[in-house]
Amino acid sequence: MADIKLAFVIQRPPYKSETSTLGFTHAISYQVVEMLLEDGQNVIPTVCLVGEGVLNLIKDQKAMENYGVTSVESHGKNSLLVDLDMLVCKEDMERFGLAEDRLLDAEDMGADKKLQIVPYAEIQKVLEDSNHLLFF
Amino acid sequence: MKLGVFVNDYKSTVETVERLTAEKLGLIFIQNGVFHAALKENGKPSPLLDKTGNLYALSEDLATRGLTAADVDSRVKVVTYSDVVDLIFNDYEKLAWL
C-alpha cells in the first residue's frame, strides 16, 4: 500500500501571526494521521520553507525573553528532532542575504537531521510528488 | 503635520508608506517591520529607508527574530520601548499604525 506524502509549505514570516508556527506544529503532529490509515501505511512529511518563510529559521531568537512565548526557532528545532525533512529554498536565502550560518540547527538537542538548503526546483519536485499540499 | 508611522509588517505596508507625505515623517519599525531595517532583499535595502531620515527599529523585536544591531542599516536608529514612548510624546503629534 502506498505511503501518504505530505508537504507542509511555510511561506509566511514569524510572529506577526501564528501561521508559520502552525505549519511547524502540524508537521510535527503528522504521526497522529497514521492512526487513521491502513496497517503498514505511513505518512511521509516534508517541511518546505519558501519566500518569507525562510525568516522563521534565523537562530538565536529571543521570543521568550521579549514576548514570553516559545520561539519559532524552538518549533523548527523540534521539527528536526522528530526527524522531519526540512527543505529551505536556496534562492530565497540569497534574496534575503542570509548565510547558512545564520540558520538554526538542533545539534544541542541531539537531533541527527539538519536543514537542507536546496534550489527551488528540488522543492517543486517534492510538491509534485506529494499527495497533499498544506500551505501556511 | 508630524506623523509617526508604526510599520509592523514586512511586505504589505510598502506602497502605503511610499504615498505618505508629512512635514516631519518618522518610521518606527516594530514587530515584523524590523525586517525592513535589517534585510537587504536582492542586495538592496528596503525602499522605505529612502523615505525619511527619521528611522527607528525596536531592539526587542529585532532580538526576538534573531537579529542584532549589526544587521541594521546604518540609517536606522535602534531604540528601546522607552525610547519609543519618548518619540510618541515628544516628536510626533499624530501616529499611524500600519
Q: Region A99-116: what's the mean pLDDT? A: 96
Give the domain CATH number at A73: 3.40.1260.10
Closest CA to A55 of B61, B60, B69, B59: B61
Distances (CA, A) of B63 to A124, B8, B77, B79: 32, 15, 15, 12
The residue in chain B having the minimum alpha-carbon distance to the alpha carbon of residue A104 is B66
Q: Could you give the count of Cα atoms lying within 13 Å of B22 in the half-sphere of its Cβ? A: 22
- Domain hosting A64: range is 4-135
Q: What's residue B34's pLDDT?
A: 97
Q: Give the domain ranges of chain B.
A: 2-97
The residue in chain A having the minimum alpha-carbon distance to the alpha carbon of residue B63 is A62
Q: How confident is the model at residue B46 (pLDDT cuts 50, 70, 90)?
A: very high
- pTM, entire model: 0.85
Q: Residue B81: pLDDT above 90?
A: yes
Asked if B66 lies within 8 A of A73 by C-beta distance, the reply is yes
User: A55-69, A77-91, B2-16, B55-69: which has the minimum mean pLDDT?
Assistant: B2-16
Q: What's residue A40's pLDDT?
A: 81
Q: Residue A31: pLDDT above 80?
A: no
Q: In what order do the strands lie in the sheet with B2-7?
A: B77-79, B54-58, B24-29, B2-7, B94-97
Q: Which CATH architecture has domain B2-97?
A: 3-Layer(aba) Sandwich (3.40)
ipTM of this predicted structure: 0.73
Q: What's residue A100's pLDDT?
A: 96
Distance between the two ends of chain B, CA-based, in angstroms? 18
A76 in contact with B, Cβ within 8 Å:
no
Q: Name the domain count of chain A.
A: 1
